[in-house]
Amino acid sequence: MSAESHYLDAIEAEENGELEQALEHARLAVKADPEHSNAWWMIVGLLAPDGKYPDIDQASKALVACNKVVDLDPTRVDAWVKGGRLMVDHLGLYEDALHWWQRCREAAPLESVPIVEQTTILSDLGMYAEARDRLSALFEENLDIANSQLARISHQHKTLEKSALQDQDSHFKPWKKNHGGWTAIKMRSNKAPVSENMLFMMTTIPFLMLEVFASRSIFGDGWGGFCLTSLLILVTVIVGMAFTRKLYYRVNKPGFNLLRAIQFEASSAKVVIPDDIRRSKLYQFLYSRHPPAFQQRLEKIVAADKKLPKNWKMKLPDFDSHLDEIGYIEDGEEESELSSYEEE
């Protein structure tokens, strides 16, 4: 049978709910024709369908198939996005994802999605100066930004600018054993994070109840009193939400720092979290919030127990490599290879 025949059989099997047969036919299609991008894309969807949580084997194979799709058709933005989600959300390959999105920029230099994704990754890893510079590229290169996203991106840029100007030692760096953030994590390690709703109830609800009971004596009865009471409640809620949000990040800062350490271990495939913290309630809470593939991969990393080299440094991509494609710099530079997820 030809590759197209296998592909059509795969479509029919998928429509009939026979997913195993559909996957088998799709694999036969790419075996017969390794350049059948639609069959590769079907394999991605069958192994890691949207809204589902694949295991590490399924996620890894889906990522390899995604790589085949973008190699064959670099204009497939949906395949770039799917691959990026698999890397970050399911496999924890943050560093590789930076290179993945740079490859996307090389294929589509005028697309803004890669910059936003790179910014998010760098920010999650605590590299605020680099994240700020990435987001600045949106404006420097005059890329199209939806009006609905402009205000959010501008606010995010201001936040990153503020973080980048702070003392760099104040930002938690999991790869530094003696960083003060580890002490704070140990102090909170036996407590789960406090929810934002709980903090709102503890800090704002008492004031709202007091305002409701005291409003009649303060503003009196009638329509005017009702309007003034409603306005006071609205202002209290707005102020309370803003205060609660700041308090939430302050109280749970050790949890956010430990989450960064977990993400760093997944990204570097090296162990940095002390054993006593790994056995703690806080670690178990954060670990359980990750998808199955992420947990399985992290378990393999912990079992391998490879320590971080003394002079370790993250290998960032050349963020200007996309300029080759639009004629700003000379061609000939080697493209960065992305193979670690295939090796795993």
Which DSSP state fits 89? Answer: I
What's the alpha-carbon Rg for the chain, to the nearest Å? Answer: 25
**Looking at the domain covering 48-125+127-168+318-343, what would its CATH class be?**
mainly alpha
List the domain boundaries for the chain: 48-125+127-168+318-343, 181-304
Spatial contact of 42 and 74, defined as CB atoms under 8 Å apart: no
Encode pLDDT of 83-107 as tens digits: 999 999 999 999 999 999 999 999 9
pTM (two decimals): 0.82
| Tokens, residue 155 | 């606010």
Residue whose entry in the numeric block shows the structure tokens 């050349």: 318
The dihedral formed by the CA atoms of 326, 331, 334 and 339, expressed in degrees to the nearest 10? 30
Encode pLDDT of 191-217 as tens digits: 988 899 999 999 999 999 998 888 878
Of 32-36, 56-60, 75-79, 166-170, which range is least confident?
A: 166-170
